[in-house]
Amino acid sequence: MNKEKELIDKLIDLAFAEDIGDGDHTTLSCIPATAMGKSKLLIKEAGVLAGIEVAKEIFNRFDPTMKVEVFINDGTEVKPGDVAMVVEGKVQSLLQTERLMLNVMQRMSGIATMTRKYAKQLEGTHTRVLDTRKTTPGMRILEKMAVKIGGGVNHRIGLFDMILLKDNHVDFAGGIDKAINRAKEYCKEKGKDLKIEIEVRNFDELQQVLDLGGVDRIMFDNFTPEMTKKAVDMVAGKYETESSGGITFDTLRDYAECGVDFISVGALTHSVKGLDMSFKAC
């Protein structure tokens, strides 16, 4: 079982545990166990659909006899009135899975919609929009899946799949050179093939990184577009470059036109609004 599926399975189990507890007594009290029915996923707001594949897994894990007919796939732009899927099965199962499926799909679709907006703003440049670790605890894998569906790129998944030396790491380590050298030594000692990225706060720190080398990507933290252009020129294509901090949708294009490779945007996941949809009997 790969890490991604393991985390999704654990999330689904926890979500059902917190929602259903010892039983959905509303449904169990008024719906016969033998009753069969259908429900449709109705889109109520324009956006980008995401989460269909996860929804299928939610239904299957709760009740493998449920049948899902998908009409609109992940990544498709949708509008009010669209029906994304119809699910057929025991009415008790339809009612007990409804809220978890909607919570996941509304959240993922909201993220995919936001990401698509940012990705379109970057069209015509070579810059790609990245997500961050500013995610809902426990839902990171789903939220990062949604970013990819929307046209963005995943940064590291967590603290385990890349080394990112940020300002606090540099300060606690005693400087740029110590932080980079220790990271390289650690990877060699542990036999780990991890990319190393370092955050710089000014041109002095950037020059230190360029003099030392040994990294894969340099992040410009809270640089203005003018500073970013100068920084990109200083790097001169030797390393990947990333802009981060204080970048809004309105300034996104300004940074991209400086020639930076990536722009990381926490807002893709930390403050997004869910896409409006409902699951109605049909």
The catalytic position among 117, 166, 201, 230 is 166
Residue with tokens 């000692």: 189
Contacts (Cβ under 8 Å, ≥6 apart) of 14: 138
Tell me, what DSSP letter sits at residue 161? Answer: S
Burial track 56-73 (b if 16+ CB lie within 10 A, e otherwise): bbbbeebeeebebeeebe
182 is in an annotated binding site: no
221 flagged as catalytic: yes
From the centroid of its chain, how far is CA 155?
Answer: 9
The catalytic position among 131, 197, 199, 261 is 199
The catalytic position among 40, 56, 134, 229 is 134
Q: Return the axis-axis angle of helices 140-150 and 3-20, rounded to nearest 10°.
A: 120
246 is in an annotated binding site: yes
The catalytic position among 40, 44, 56, 99 is 99
166 flagged as catalytic: yes
243 is in an annotated binding site: no
273 is in an annotated binding site: no
The catalytic position among 177, 221, 240, 254 is 221
134 is in an annotated binding site: yes
123 is in an annotated binding site: no
221 is in an annotated binding site: yes
156 is in an annotated binding site: yes
166 is in an annotated binding site: yes
205 flagged as catalytic: no
150 is in an annotated binding site: no
132 is in an annotated binding site: yes
Beta strands across the sheet bearing 277-281: 67-70, 83-90, 36-43, 277-281
3-state SS class at 203: helix
Report the alpha-carbon distance of residue 13 to residue 20 in Å, rounded.
10
Give the residue numbers marked as catalytic.
Answer: 99, 134, 166, 199, 221
Could you list the residues known to form a binding site, using ranges.
Answer: 99, 132-134, 156, 166, 199, 221, 244-246, 265-267
Could you list the residues known to form a binding site for substrate, using ranges.
Answer: 99, 132-134, 156, 166, 199, 221, 244-246, 265-267
